[in-house]
Amino acid sequence: MSVAEDTNRRRGGREARKAMRSRAIPVDEAAVRPGMKGGQYKPLSQGELEKIHEAALTLLETVGIGNSIPSCIEMMTEKGCTLDENGRLRFPRALIEDTLTICARRFPLFARDPKYDLEPWGTNVHFGTAGAAVHVVEPETEAYRDSLLVDLYDAARIVDNCEHIHFFQRPLVARDMVEPRDLDVNTLYACLAGTSKHIGTSMVEPDHVRECLDMLHVVAGSEAKWRERPFVSQSNCFVVPPMKWAEDACRCLEVAVRGGMPVLLLSAAQAGATSPAALAGTIVQAVAECLAGLAYVNAIQPGGYALWGPWPFVSDLRTGAMSGGSGEQALISSACAQMGQFYDLPTGSAAGMADSKLPDMQAGCEHGVNAALTALSGINMLYEAAGMHASLLGFCFESLLIDNDMLGAINRNVRGIEVNDATLSIDVITEVCTEGPGHYLGSGQTLDLMQKDYVYPDVGNRMSPKEWNEAKKPDVVKVAAARKDKILSGYFPDYLPEDLDRQLRANHDIKLDKALLQAGHSRFA
């Protein structure tokens, strides 16, 4: 073969690969997708899972949960709980066992667009945002500023463009919303305006839950249509660790469950502060609290949709400060995922946060280690997996896009390696070595698997040093900033059409400037 023939052949292979890269393929043929099956990482043995279960049941029987509201006491005592002399509600083992028999398990988390529906059960893994950051991180100036309502809308629009972020739970607090009602109602509105993926949010008073449900009935088309496909879940911190009910949250929980809204039963202790410093003890407490919450939900409505959310955090024991980026965070989140699989419950927990204040090498390490290990444990819903800094105090748009790349790579590892007659590649190796050019760049298998087996970054850099120099040394944070600006200046989804938006604004005090929902009016334009 002449040099010219070989060069043309290589060029043809390169052009074929480019064409394959640009070809749209069905989601079920993509290299990764929501719900890849994890479970490869198991920090706890079967015997240890059983010991944690027994310890949690013992705590519920002997210590119980304090600060019960009257409606909770009435419902739970009817189910067999007792109220001790200290006003603590104690749970008999039989009640927990009965609850685990009747509770909902394999229910989907719907999205307004059915292509984003999630199946959070077994070891199916999904990645999403979450948190209550009070600052937005601006990497260019290394500044932290107050987070605003428009930031929440912008974050939703960015996530709507992130393939590997599968759901959007509000990651920041709109600090320009002074009144609690304004915060709850407008948080929901901003999320609905920005994304058609499954949404998670929270409310602080029962009346706010009712108003949000009224909004959702309008958006869905009717209450019946909402109940058929509830596309928003309530993140509910129903306990104040250690082992006390959060009274206002419990009142909100009751309204949400009766209103057909899926709830995330979120127990968020901090090891060494509001749960034991011993990691096993922290897991025991979180499991006990969440089992009590599950019994509560099923007393309100048998089979009510509840995501089981043991969500413990880690303290830096030198200072008492939270450390979301610690190695221990991945351990306890993964152990909680295993406990969810032990009970066969749809389970969510948090990992992928950074203690680092900026999207730097420390953040990349902390994000990657925690999100990867927890995903490999088979967690169904991995919250706070993108964009979070300063142990949840800061949220960064650029990090959303960088972390989207990271989550795609992690999801590819969750998927693993398929070993079968075709992938063993004996025929392909034989052909290339005995008849072909001695490489696989242009082979049919390579072209076929380009998108089916491989994941590619959107903002990450794979240039050679020479190409990188010639491209003026692009930096990933700056590339992400440019991508952010392009989305926010040009992507305005019509998820709340004019008639629907007018109806919502007539019945609710919507603060988000209507002009910001339309192209040409963005602050980034």
Give the three-state DSSP class for 297. helix
Structural domain contains residue 324: yes
Report how far residue 154's alpha carbon sits from residue 465's, in angstroms, rounded to the nearest whole number: 34
Structural domain contains residue 20: no
Residues 70-74 have a mean pLDDT of 98
- The CATH number assigned to the domain holding 46 equals 3.20.20.480
Q: CA 57, 62, 65, 71 torsion: positive or negative?
A: positive
| Residues 489/471, Cβ–Cβ less than 8 Å | no
Q: Is the pLDDT of residue 160 over 70?
A: yes
Report how far residue 481's alpha carbon sits from residue 495's, in angstroms, rounded to the nearest whole number: 25
Report how far residue 405's alpha carbon sits from residue 396's, in angstroms, rounded to the nearest whole number: 15
Q: Is the pLDDT of residue 28 over 90?
A: no
Angle subtended at Cα 246 by Cα 306 and Cα 345, rounded to the nearest 5 degrees? 20
> DSSP code of 309?
E
What confidence score (pLDDT) does residue 5 get?
A: 47
Residues 26-34 have a mean pLDDT of 88
What rounded mean pLDDT belongs to the chain?
Answer: 94
What's the structural domain count of the chain? 1
164-195 tens-digit pLDDT: 999 999 999 999 999 999 999 999 999 999 99
Q: Is the pLDDT of residue 41 over 50?
A: yes
Give the three-state DSSP class for 7. helix
Residues 294-322 have a mean pLDDT of 96
Amino acid identity, position 310: P
pTM score: 0.94
At 26, the pLDDT band (50, 70, 90 cuts) reads confident
Q: Is the pLDDT of residue 391 over 60?
A: yes
At 411, the pLDDT band (50, 70, 90 cuts) reads very high
324 CB burial (10 A radius; 0-12, 13-18, 19+): buried
Residues 216-241 have a mean pLDDT of 98
Residue 465: alpha-carbon gap to chain centroid = 35
What confidence score (pLDDT) does residue 17 get?
A: 54
Structural domain contains residue 88: no
What confidence score (pLDDT) does residue 31 get?
A: 93
What confidence score (pLDDT) does residue 16 get?
A: 57
Measuring CA to CA, which residue among 324, 377, 332 is closest to residue 352? 324
Residue at token pair 């200046």? 489
Amino acid identity, position 174: A
Report how far residue 103's alpha carbon sits from residue 123's, in angstroms, rounded to the nearest whole number: 18
Structural domain contains residue 385: yes
Q: Is the pLDDT of residue 264 over 70?
A: yes
Radius of gyration, CA atoms only, the chain? 25
Buried b (16+ CB within 10 A) or exposed e, 109-122: bbbbeeebbbebbb
| Residues 456/163, Cβ–Cβ less than 8 Å | no
Structural domain contains residue 80: no
Q: Where would I find the H helices in 125-228?
A: 149-159, 180-194, 206-220, 223-228
Residues 388-401 have a mean pLDDT of 98
| Structural domain that includes position 164 | 25-60+107-415+459-525
Report how far residue 261's alpha carbon sits from residue 257's, in angstroms, rounded to the nearest whole number: 6
For the chain, give the number of residues.
Answer: 525
Q: Is the pLDDT of residue 517 over 50?
A: yes
Amino acid identity, position 441: L
DSSP 128-165: B----BSEEEETTTTEEEE--HHHHHHHHHHHTT-TT-
Report how far residue 206's alpha carbon sits from residue 214's, in angstroms, rounded to the nearest whole number: 13
At 124, the pLDDT band (50, 70, 90 cuts) reads very high
What confidence score (pLDDT) does residue 70 get?
A: 98
What confidence score (pLDDT) does residue 484 get?
A: 97
Structural domain contains residue 245: yes
Residues 458-487 have a mean pLDDT of 96
Structural domain contains residue 434: no
What confidence score (pLDDT) does residue 520 get?
A: 53
Question: Which residues contact residue 346 at a Cβ distance below 8 angstroms, ignoring those fewer than 6 apart?
Answer: 105, 106, 107, 120, 121, 306, 307, 308, 340, 380, 381
Structural domain contains residue 40: yes
